[in-house]
Amino acid sequence: MVLSPASSAPHTQVTFLACRSGAREHEIASQRHVAERLSALLGCAFAEAHDETGSLRGPLGYVVPNDTLDSVERAHALGIRSAHDLYGGVVPFPFVATKAITHPLIGPAAAAPDGWQPAFAERVREVVLPGFSAFSIEDAREAGRLLLAAGDVRVKLASGIGGAGQSVARDESELEAQLAALGDAEIARHGVVLERNLAALRTHSVGLLQVGGLQTSYFGTQRTTPNRHGAEVYGGSSLTVARGGLDALERLTDDPGVHRALAQAATYHAAALASFAGFFASRCNYDVAEGRDAAGTTYSGVLEQSWRLGGASGAEIAALEVLHRDPARTAVRTSTTELHRADVTVPDGATVYYAGTDPHLGPIVKYAEVHADARA
């Protein structure tokens, strides 16, 4: 038995859509593998399309894009009209898919992109870290100086992925240099986030998935790994995935940090649905950080959203496969691992998503595992 997408016209084809410009070889390969496994789960034929210019027309069947689709019109042109038509998400404006939505602007006169919704930042202000978003270097400078009065500031290009485009400013001279490095044009185009910097950081992943008739949710943590230059980068996620919505996860953990992260992610998700007309998603992931600032004050808050394939997607699909095969099972633990070296012993039973040498990053091995868990 295979899953059938819960739409008026069940799909017969799953299409992997490579639409994010600048995606690395290892990303495309692992994302394609996720899409192929989804096609098997849904009992559909598999196809692949490339559309970095946004000119492609559909219908393409059930679509697995490697980026959030940032136009409702574009989604409709591809045959995507609801969360039942894709693994990912659709937003009405490009900035909605970035970190920029998490924080307010410095003031009512600040530069803002078309479609900016101040109501979203107001709805989430109790569940995010102290911070601001800016779309001009002058606004960013003002926001950064205000935040520096209480400690170090993390500067993040709003469109950055996996920690790229981030730095920490400890004084005004560092702030000025880091904003200059991003550049006026990049800040105006994509936006920049300035946020309280935390140490002793623990990052939770909270997710909601809807594939065919199967709805699941998860919590988990991320870890880092050194790349070939010794810098710490994303190294994988460990997830606990359960049937149902976020409330189904409450009984699976006694960790107060996880319970807080679930509540914060739920608020953020509801705020997005209420604030951005035309937004829908079948794959939702929210990164929630807890840690201490330089003064020792503890904070917890949502950092950003991901409504597209992500680093944890291999673990997500592994969980969906287990829950589909065993209808009596209510939960499962899975994980993904990414290692930036060639000498890797892959555990027995793991699914390898990529093992090779990326032209930009060097040797990388990525794999997903399903873990035994008596409670699940």
Domains of the chain: 13-93 (3.40.50), 96-125+130-197 (3.30.1490.20), 200-371 (3.30.470)
Contact criterion met (CB below 8 Å) for 103 and 193: yes
Identify the pLDDT of residue 161. Answer: 67
* Dist CA 62 CA 66 (whole Å): 13
* Dist CA 332 CA 323 (whole Å): 8
Cα Rg of the chain (Å, integer): 20
Task: Write the secondary structure of 282-349 as one string of H (helix), E (strand) and C (coil).
Answer: CEEEEEEEEEECCCCCEEEEEEEEECCCCCCHHHHHHHHHHHHHCCCCCEEEEEEEEECCCCCCCCCC
Enter the pTM of the model.
0.93
Peptide bond into 59 cis (omega under 30): yes
Identify the pLDDT of residue 374. Answer: 44
* Dist CA 90 CA 88 (whole Å): 7
> What residues contact 68, with CB distance under 8 A and at least 6 apart?
88, 89, 90, 91, 97, 306, 307, 308
Q: Which pair of structure tokens corresponds to residue 59?
A: 């219908």
Instruction: Give pLDDT < 50 ranges for the chain.
Output: 1, 4, 8, 374-376
* DSSP 8-state assignment for residue 277: T
β-strand partners of 49: 17
The strand order across the sheet containing 45-50 reads 45-50, 13-18, 62-65
β-strand partners of 63: 15, 86
β-strand partners of 204: 221, 288
Identify the pLDDT of residue 54. Answer: 78
* Dist CA 206 CA 49 (whole Å): 29
Q: Which of 128, 124, 125 is nearest to 156 (CA)?
A: 128
User: Which residue shows structure tokens 């209510």?
Assistant: 330
Residue 361's alpha-carbon distances to 157, 177, 227, 231, in angstroms, are 21, 26, 8, 12
DSSP H helix total and E strand total for the chain: 8, 17
DSSP 3-state of 51? coil
pLDDT digits (tens, 9 = 90+) for 257-287: 999 999 999 999 999 999 999 999 999 999 9
Q: Residue 48: what are its φ and ψ, rounded to 5°?
A: -135, 140
* Dist CA 177 CA 183 (whole Å): 10
Q: Which pair of structure tokens corresponds to residue 209?
A: 């998935």
